[in-house]
Amino acid sequence: MDLKSLARDERTDLADFLETLSPEQWDAPTLCGEWRVRDLVAHLVSYDDLSLRDMAGRFVKGRFTLDGANDVGLAEYGGRTSGELLALARKHVRPAGVMAWSGGVVALTGGVIHHQDIRRPLGLPREIPAERLVAALRGALKVPVFGGARRARRLRLVATDLDWSRGSGPEARGSAEAILMAIAGRPSAVGELSGPGRELLAERVAR
């Protein structure tokens, strides 16, 4: 299955999950700093209608930083109701515009990571389909915006629940989902790993 189709399936699953959340859960914290669930969903949908020109304009408004561009998008979409955000999530299950770049790898990888950013603090785990999870691991290591390659440099990552490994050096082992979240910069996931490489990975995530 191609990456855009995998991204569509992930986004559909996320929208289905969001539909089950209570008003209190929409205002619950996520793993993304001070963002609540509604803020993270607003962040996700804020990129779906952007063309290349629109994206450039957002970065100009955001003073040419990713954090700044994210702040611009959140300012534009953060005032929407949960119902409006859910409708936008449903509308854009198929990646388009800038989210379709590189065959959909950004949409898929970001979708899987942010889905877990919401689920983990809520204590609502899931089993991520292996094909999506492996593709997201590759995306996190390939696309600079996710920072996976920098954090995983000179480490060997070994999934204990999937036939997947990467790199050479001190080993960090754990579930494929925990590895993904760790190399995406989530400190809580690093604690779920084992092996001599975990400490180095923890240091990099803390930076």
Summarize pLDDT for 68-84 with one digit per residue, the tens: 988 999 899 999 999 99
| Strands of the sheet with 171-174, listed across from one edge | 165-166, 156-159, 171-174
SS3 123: coil
Q: Is residue 138 part of a domain?
A: no
User: Is residue 36 within 8 Å of 85, Cβ to Cβ?
Assistant: no
Q: Is residue 39 part of a domain?
A: yes
Q: Is the pLDDT of residue 138 over 80?
A: yes
Whose CA is closest to 120, among 16, 19, 29?
29
* Residue ranges in the chain assigned as alpha helix (H): 3-19, 23-26, 37-45, 52-61, 66-77, 82-91, 105-122, 130-142, 148-152, 176-183, 187-190, 198-206
Please give the Cα distance from 161 to 176 (Å, whole number): 7
Same domain as 200, residue 156: yes
Same domain as 157, residue 114: no
Q: Is residue 132 part of a domain?
A: no
Q: Is the pLDDT of residue 200 over 80?
A: yes
Q: Is residue 166 part of a domain?
A: yes
Q: Is the pLDDT of residue 130 over 80?
A: yes
Same domain as 154, residue 118: no
**Please, which pLDDT band fits residue 31 given cuts at 50, 70 and 90?**
very high
Same domain as 160, residue 106: no
Share of the chain above pLDDT 90, in %: 83
Same domain as 34, residue 92: yes
The DSSP annotation for 132-182 comes to: HHHHHHHHHHHSGGG-HHHHHTT-EEEESSSS-EE-SSSEEEE-HHHHHHH
Same domain as 114, residue 14: yes
SS3 117: helix
Q: Is residue 109 part of a domain?
A: yes
pLDDT at 99: 85
Same domain as 112, residue 155: no
Q: Is residue 139 part of a domain?
A: no
pLDDT (mean) for 161-177: 98
Q: Provide the whole-model pTM.
A: 0.95
Q: Is the pLDDT of residue 117 over 80?
A: yes
Residue with tokens 């515009």, as numbered in its chain:
97
Domain residue limits at 99: 3-122
pLDDT at 50: 86
- Domain count for the chain, please give it: 2
Q: Is the pLDDT of residue 1 over 80?
A: no
Summarize pLDDT for 80-102 with one digit per residue, the tens: 999 999 999 999 999 887 888 77
